[in-house]
Amino acid sequence: MKKLTNWYFKALEVLMVLCLAAMCLMVFGNVVLRHFFNSGVNIAEELSRFMFIWLTFLGAIVAMREGGHLGVDVLVARLTGRRRFAAVLLGQVLVLMCCGVLLWGLLMQHELNMANAGLITGISMSIVYSAAYLCAASIGLLTFVNITKLVTGRMSPSELIPSNYID
C-alpha cells in the first residue's frame, strides 16, 4: 500500500511539473508573439489558466502529505498530554469537515460545470474543476488516515505539529 501511495504522489508531482512547464512555454510564447509580432495564441491563454487551476489543487494535495500547509501551531505545541491530543484531533476533524463541504459544494455546482465550456478550447468546465474533486478526496483520505492513526495510537499528536515549535 505504501508503494502505491508513493507512486500516486510521484505521479502528482510529475503532473505538476508538466503543467508548470507547459504554462511557462505558453505564456512566454505569447509574450514574445505579442511583443514582436503583435499577435498571440488565444488557446494558450485559456489552457494556461486551466493548468494553473490544476497546479494549485495538485500542489495542495502534495503539500498536505508533506505537512507544508500554513498552520497556527504555536498554541497546540505548548499543550501537553490529552489537551494536545484533543487539539490535534479537533484540527484534523475540522480539515475533514472542510473537505466534505468542498465536495458537497462541487456536487451542487456539478450540473453548472457540465453545461459550461471554455470559450476558446471548448473544454468542459467539469474537466477543469475535476481537480477540486481529486483534491478534496485526496486530502480527505489523508486526514482520515491521520485521524485513524491518532485514535489507534499509531501516531502521536506531535507528528502532526511542525518540529520547530515543539520544546
Q: Kindly state the cell numbers that stand for 86.
A: 484533543
Low-confidence stretches of the chain (pLDDT beneath 70): 162-167
Residue 163: what pLDDT? 60
Cα 147 to Cα 19, 31, 63, 85, 111: the distances in Å are 32, 47, 18, 11, 33
Residue type at 10?
K
H or E, element range at 113: helix 81-115
pLDDT of residue 112: 86
Q: Which pLDDT does position 160 carry in this prediction?
A: 82
CB neighbour list of residue 126: distance below 8 Å, 6 or more residues apart:
110, 113, 114
| Strand, helix or coil for residue 124 | strand
C-alpha distances (whole Å) from 54 to each of 51, 115, 153 are 5, 20, 35
Q: How far apart are CA 6 and CA 30, in angstroms?
A: 36
Three cell numbers, residue 62: 502534495
> Are 140 and 154 contacting, i.e. CB atoms less than 8 angstroms apart?
no
pLDDT score for 75: 81
pLDDT for the residue numbered 43: 93
pTM: 0.86
What's the pLDDT score for residue 71? 74
